[in-house]
């Protein structure tokens, strides 16, 4: 996920928060990765990230987004790639990356906060 975010935002991956850190407690309470991501996006870019399952037919003209789902290479793990208008255009793993499985994949969109 971090590499896909860095690609879309055109920043170094080191500048993206470690979303895996959400697996450990932060201060007193446990924070899910979406909370960490959206706090960072709000502070740095005034953006909000929302992930959803969808009928992919309407995604023709939505611009850049993240496609997440089960990794076809590593059983039991999820993977995220960069999409443009509903199609994968970049797998951060490189040419050997296989994207994500079609079943149960999600669409991640960025919205400007008001």
pTM higher than 0.75, yes or no?
Answer: yes
Specify the pLDDT at position 31. Answer: 62
pLDDT in tens, 39-71: 999 999 999 999 888 888 888 888 999 999 988
Contact 71, 96 (CB under 8 A): no
Specify the pLDDT at position 25. Answer: 46
Specify the pLDDT at position 104. Answer: 82
Contact 66, 54 (CB under 8 A): no
Specify the pLDDT at position 81. Answer: 93
Close Cβ partners of 99 (under 8 Å, ≥ 6 residues apart): 67, 72, 79, 81, 88, 91
Sign of CA dihedral 20, 21, 24, 28: negative
Section 69-88 average pLDDT = 88
Close Cβ partners of 12 (under 8 Å, ≥ 6 residues apart): 6
Structural domain boundaries in the chain: 2-112
């Amino acid at each position: 996920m971090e590499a896909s975010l860095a690609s879309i935002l055109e920043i170094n991956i080191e500048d993206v928060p470690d979303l895996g850190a959400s697996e450990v407690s932060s201060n007193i309470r446990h924070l899910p990765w979406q909370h960490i991501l959206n706090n960072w996006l709000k502070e740095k870019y005034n953006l909000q990230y929302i992930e959803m399952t969808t009928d992919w037919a309407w995604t023709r003209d939505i611009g850049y987004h993240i496609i997440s789902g089960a990794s076809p290479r590593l059983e039991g793990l999820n993977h995220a790639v960069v999409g443009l208008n509903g199609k994968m255009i970049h797998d951060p793993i490189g040419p050997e990356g296989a994207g994500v499985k079609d079943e149960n994949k999600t669409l991640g969109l960025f919205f400007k906060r008001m």
